[in-house]
């Protein structure tokens, strides 16, 4: 069954790692975040809220529809100043109009069925000339074969029924670009990124992460027995690989700027 973002057991599932330097470098090479007012919509456990502040943002507002996720995010960022958290969603953030320099929506849009409403709201809260960063997987991003780095690919090799579930909830790059352009944005850049997700010192550490379904909503589609089966499958696939195991995921990022009205 799908992940329940309101379940207390999932409070820290999206707060237990750090943003990779490859992600930080791409953002900094594209947009100046220094002293900027930023909203992290769908902030989850606050991983990227924290990263943006470490990169020099002036203030970051983490927005999520789940009170449970926001508690995890607040705990994750408790030792960093200039972060606040606010309950809302991508359609109704309740943030002031034209108040932000940058909006980040990472791993969010595949949970939404109305891109137009999402981007209209992002446009409302951004200043003119403000930047919107969308990061998600396209159907093509989801399905490279599994290897020692793309662990996710093995999920679909072992359980092919997950392929349709994963692909049909993703938007094609052209759909995202068209929705941005039709809702007041100019797309400046589209990039793909193999982002390092986590570095595991042993297979046992990876297995424990999988058993907790940490940060992987697709694994909530498997029952406990299937999850154990998957871990056994991965152990066989990775048996000849030396530690550490460096897990990477393939993403697409769309960088857009709000047009003048």
What's the pLDDT tens digit per position in 94-115?
999 999 999 999 999 999 999 9
Sequence spans of domains, the chain: 8-258
What's the pLDDT tens digit per position in 182-214?
999 999 999 999 999 999 999 999 999 999 998
Residue 241: its pLDDT value, please? 84
SS3 of 239, please?
coil
Indicate the CATH number for domain 8-258.
3.40.50.150
**Sign of the torsion angle spanned by Cα atoms 156, 157, 163, 165:** negative
Q: Identify the DSSP state of 241.
A: P
What's the pLDDT tens digit per position in 129-168?
999 999 999 999 998 999 999 999 999 999 999 999 999 9
Enter the pTM of the model: 0.90
Element (H, E) at 155: helix 152-158
Q: Which band of pLDDT confidence, cut at 50, 70 and 90, is reported for residue 16?
A: low
Alpha helices, H only, 79-132? 115-125
Say how far apart CA 226 and CA 230 lie, in whole Å.
Answer: 6
Residue 123: its pLDDT value, please? 98
What's the pLDDT tens digit per position in 176-187?
999 999 999 999
């Amino acid at each position: 069954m799908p992940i329940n973002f309101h379940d207390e057991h999932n409070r820290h599932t999206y707060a237990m790692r750090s943003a990779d330097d490859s992600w930080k470098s791409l953002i900094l090479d594209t947009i100046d975040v220094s002293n900027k007012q930023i909203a992290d919509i769908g902030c989850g456990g606050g991983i990227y809220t924290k990263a943006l502040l470490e990169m020099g943002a002036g203030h970051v507002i983490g927005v999520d529809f789940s009170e449970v996720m926001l508690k995890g995010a607040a705990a994750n960022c408790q030792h960093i100043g200039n972060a606040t958290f606010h309950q809302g969603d991508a359609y109704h953030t309740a943030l002031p109009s034209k108040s932000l320099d940058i909006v980040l929506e990472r791993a969010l849009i595949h949970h939404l069925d109305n891109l137009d409403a999402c981007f209209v709201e992002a446009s409302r809260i951004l200043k003119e000339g403000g930047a919107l960063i969308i990061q998600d997987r396209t159907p093509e991003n989801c399905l490279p074969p599994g290897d020692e780095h793309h662990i996710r690919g093995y999920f679909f090799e072992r359980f092919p029924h997950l392929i349709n579930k994963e692909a049909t909830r993703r938007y094609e790059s052209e759909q995202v670009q068209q929705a941005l352009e039709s809702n007041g944005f100019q797309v400046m850049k589209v990039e793909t990124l193999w982002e390092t997700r986590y570095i595991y010192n042993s297979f046992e550490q990876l297995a424990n992460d999988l058993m907790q379904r940490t940060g992987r909503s697709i694994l909530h589609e498997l029952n406990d027995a299937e999850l154990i089966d998957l871990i056994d499958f991965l152990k066989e696939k990775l048996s000849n690989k030396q530690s550490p195991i460096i897990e990477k995921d393939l993403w697409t990022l769309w960088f857009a700027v709000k047009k003048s009205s």
